[in-house]
Structure 1
Amino acid sequence: MDFKVLGSTKLPIIHQAFLKAFSDYQVQVDLSLSDFQIMMKRRGFAPEISLGAFSNSAHEPIGFILNGLRPWDGKLTAYDTGTGVIPVYRKQGITSGLFEQVLKVLARQNVEQYLLEVLQDNTAAFKLYYNQGFRVTRTFSVYQLNKITNPLNLTANDLELIPQIASEDWKALEAFWDFKPSWQNSVRSIHAVAEEFTCAVLRRNTKLIGYGIVGKATGDVPQLAVCQEYRRQGIATQILAALMQNTKSNILSFINVDDTSQSTRAFLERMGSENVGGQYEMVLTLS
């Protein structure tokens, strides 16, 4: 068994290994190569700190750890975008071997912490990460909203649809947050694939008071927030209606809603969203 950095492995090969490894995952994974490329770009995929397990002279990995790399909470952070082993090769210590080797790679790159998310009902993966030293930092819920069965036929005269939010506006918008977005929903992740999203912003007398972002094709909603002083005026509902109208998907997905934000959860449930699962955010301190 050889463990190799994936810097020279082409993305289509990694994609095929990814599909095989997640073929029996609790959540259906059926990503085209194009969608996989978008996901990797969004999450900051860094092949130079990602690792594959190769059997003999095989050119396709039988197991892998795919990592992103960015600053997070003021520290250089690796983010596990996906760890998997093809089913027939499991229970051979491959995942443990990958982790042992990838930690050496991260140390050479002066990475300070390692971040990941794991499904709450994936007890085997949670135990593996916990035994490696990861600890839970937050718990998340995942919501889905069917726009066919829960339509919102609203309009707002002062609502604007824009391709992306200007850099100078983000500082003001961050003050609207009840919780910090997870890695895949962060500002950096949105900017990485800005062309995949539509943004809806609401202003009062030129002042930004609320915004939402939706995947044009996927219905993924990474962020939706309203200024504290303008809440309970139907603004979030108006923005949500605009997001519904500007995605091709019939399902809007709210992935990684922080469980401490009772107001966000209550709003989504009031709109008819269904809680379909949960995740743990976990961090391993490296230096």
Structure 2
Amino acid sequence: MINYKKCSEVNMDLIFDAFTIGFSDYIIKLSMPKDIFVNRFFGPEGNSLDYSHIAFDGDKAIGVILGGIKNYEGIKTMRCGTLAVHPKYRGQGISQKLMELHKEVASKNNCKQLFLEVIVGNDRAVKFYNNLSYEKVYDLKYFSLEDLSTLRNYNNPHMHIKKINFVDFKNAVGETKDYHINWQSDIDYVETLENSLYYGAYVGETLVGYLCGNTTGKINILWVNKNARNKGFALGLLSTFSKEVDVSKLSITVPNNHLMEGFIRHIGFKKDSISQYEMYLNI
């Protein structure tokens, strides 16, 4: 008989075991040491033990769902941080039950929507979520730039770009945000990272663009005021960032932003093989 418990009621080793075996045959390799799993999934990813559940067959951990709640783009949202079931136990309704428990937690906490990401091509998972009434809203595309020479050689002495602190960056985003930011690039997410860098582009004292990235080369947010576009500010921000990080490539996630996609393709970014859907369910 399959039993279910809150993750807050069990040892972290069991949660990690369920995660590891559940993703052992995943489309992409998703294996990591336990300390990295804990720091990532219960750190920046925003999952909570109280909002997560684990499935057991006797004493054996065979499935897990992680959940996190936050105010996401103005709406109290429960995100499914991961759903994993032991390969030998699939098709027995365990994922369905874990998702039911997930939704119950969201309702009890007055969430207005459920949200998750799923890899494009994982048709079984997409069909499963569709059957639960989730709908695809955003496409997440991942891009990388491996030849950084053009960016690092770029120089515009008339452009004023400087590092800014997190508070100034957060305030700037709050005043200008008219675009979608994916969960793993959102303000709450980057605030928890120790290696984030923030830059602002200015005309006089007026901020006209900003960039948030981290020392691994990941660009979380890149924005330029529509009245200042096509004047080199985005290129200047990327150039400044690329000169300060010791990496061999840059990466960026683009959620349904054709202007951004066109720009980064133009300067040499190539689309990665993996992409995702963001799927939502209003409750």
Equivalents in 2 of 1:6, 1:26: separation in Å?
A: 25
Report deviation, 1:4.
0.9
Q: Which moved more, 1:246-255 or 1:8-17?
A: 8-17
Match of 1:250 among 241, 248, 252: 248
Equivalents in 2 of 1:34, 1:207: separation in Å?
A: 43
> Is the 1:147–1:244 contact (alpha carbons within 8 Å) kept by the matching residues of 2?
no
2:55: which partner in 1? 53
Report deviation, 1:69.
0.7
1:284: which partner in 2? 281
Report deviation, 1:78.
0.5
1:203: which partner in 2? 202
- C-alpha spacing 1:75/1:155, structure 2 compared with 1 (3 Å): same
Using structure 2 for the length normalisation, give the TM-score. 0.87
Report deviation, 1:105.
2.8
Report deviation, 1:121.
1.2
Equivalents in 1 of 2:123, 2:236: separation in Å?
A: 39
1:262: which partner in 2? 258
Using structure 1 for the length normalisation, give the TM-score. 0.86
Report deviation, 1:273.
1.2
- 1:159-198 pair list within 5 angstroms: 159-162=161-164, 164-166=165-167, 169-174=169-174, 176-177=176-177, 179-193=179-193, 195-198=194-197
The aligned amino acid for 1:66 is L
Aligned identity (percent) is 24
Report the 3-state secondary structure (helix = DSSP H, G, I; strand = E; otherwise coil) of the residue aligned with 1:238: helix
The aligned amino acid for 1:246 is E
Question: Normalized per residue, which structure has more strand?
Answer: 2
Can you give the 5+ residue segments of structure 1 that lack an aligned partner in the other structure?
none
Report deviation, 1:124.
0.6
> Is the 2:148–2:242 contact (alpha carbons within 8 Å) kept by the matching residues of 1?
no
Equivalents in 1 of 2:41, 2:138: separation in Å?
A: 22
Say how many residue pairs are matched: 278
- Alignment of 1:6 with 2:7, yes or no, is yes
2:104: which partner in 1? 104
Report deviation, 1:108.
2.5
> Is the 1:6–1:50 contact (alpha carbons within 8 Å) kept by the matching residues of 2?
yes
The aligned amino acid for 1:127 is K
1:220: which partner in 2? 218
The aligned amino acid for 1:26 is I
Equivalents in 1 of 2:201, 2:128: separation in Å?
A: 44
- The root-mean-square deviation of aligned C-alpha atoms, in Å, is 2.4
- C-alpha spacing 1:220/1:23, structure 2 compared with 1 (3 Å): farther
Report deviation, 1:11.
4.2
- C-alpha spacing 1:25/1:235, structure 2 compared with 1 (3 Å): same
1:40: which partner in 2? 42
2:28: which partner in 1? 27
Equivalents in 1 of 2:126, 2:113: separation in Å?
A: 18
Equivalents in 1 of 2:3, 2:80: separation in Å?
A: 20
> Is the 1:68–1:79 contact (alpha carbons within 8 Å) kept by the matching residues of 2?
yes
